[in-house]
Chain A
């Protein structure tokens, strides 16, 4: 049986852990508010971009001259999965959920005989994917040093992705991230960004009228398409950041509650042991006195 001192130490240790988890929960909660505001502010832009591009794409149609980024390369033999995860753990099933979603897609694609490559953003996803698909990971972008997410981060990732696309390294690019719905609900999401898929309902809105382009449609598309990739990645990163703090907050809340429960149990054991010892000592004294 552990001694009283051991028990006291154990309780102290649990209390220290609880303090840490509690602090982490509060930090996550305050960061969540900012991240959530940023994610929500980015939504109209990304949605607007998609709408504009969808309208233009519908107007340009399937022209031979349309840029490859819009048309796609005409095949779908090689898929690039752009997996965005967090840099840190202690956030419940957040990273695992995204990786699982990507892995399921990868397994399905490979079963169809397609080639799958991974592009990891965030260390955690890389660590998990590396175990199984070490030689299929083409690149890792580490955003650990970035304190706040800026559009430039997304732009540089987009540049790398488009660079690979231009070198014919893949045909289809799908983005994996976690969409932020609420603090307790984050939805792992897959979004195809190259070639972009448009909601067909949104694109008929023009009703046959033709767009005027200033300058040429092609020039505009050449500028707009890479930008769209960056915007969609940026949105994914912001959604991810908000989801991460949401997941971390609920995970730490759980941990704090579990620690409280553990402290309660340990205190009970401690008091029982203490009382048992007092009783034992009393018996010893009384029986000693009786013997005299």
Chain B
């Protein structure tokens, strides 16, 4: 099986760089699995869990927002915040949720409120998924 070149970076550091078999992404419009030779694609990410498959092993990483780009060179994920699932600090998530709630309270127009409500929903889903 052809391998996929995967670059995973956050503003603070490079989280992963190398060849993998498959990556599952939490896209805004649904989860997607990326294999080698995927068509060029750009999508924002929703808060969720990104899974890296490599030679039978799996690695789960929590991402909060960001972008994924599939190009000829491979997959690039630019995460706003990210951390391995085991060591992810749930306090970050709690504070994000609180921020989102405050923002909704402050939001003035309808479309913005919708957007924020969606984000809050996603954050809560992630929190529930992590709590299991």
Contact = CB atoms under 8 A, between A and B. Distances in A.
19 contacts: A38-B12, A42-B12, A44-B9, A51-B69, A52-B78, A55-B42, A56-B69, A205-B72, A206-B71, A206-B72, A207-B72, A209-B39, A209-B72, A210-B40, A212-B41, A214-B28, A214-B41, A214-B43, A220-B42
B21 to A, nearest CB: 21
Interface string B1-39: 000000101111110010000000001110000000001
B44 interface: yes
Contacts of A211: 40-42
Place the interface of chain B in its size category.
20 to 34
Nearest to A210: B40
Interface string A187-231: 000000000000000000111011111110100100110000001
Interface of A: 38, 41-42, 44-45, 48-49, 51-52, 55-56, 59, 151, 205-207, 209-215, 217, 220, 223-224, 231, 234
B73 interface: yes
Given A49-B78, A209-B40, A41 B28 contact: no
- Give the interface SS of chain B, mostly helix, strand, loop or mixed: strand
Contact of A42 (B11, B29, B41): B11
A220 B78 contact: no
The 4 closest A-B pairs by CB, nearest first: A214-B43, A52-B69, A41-B13, A45-B9
A56 B42 CA distance: 8
A48 B76 contact: yes
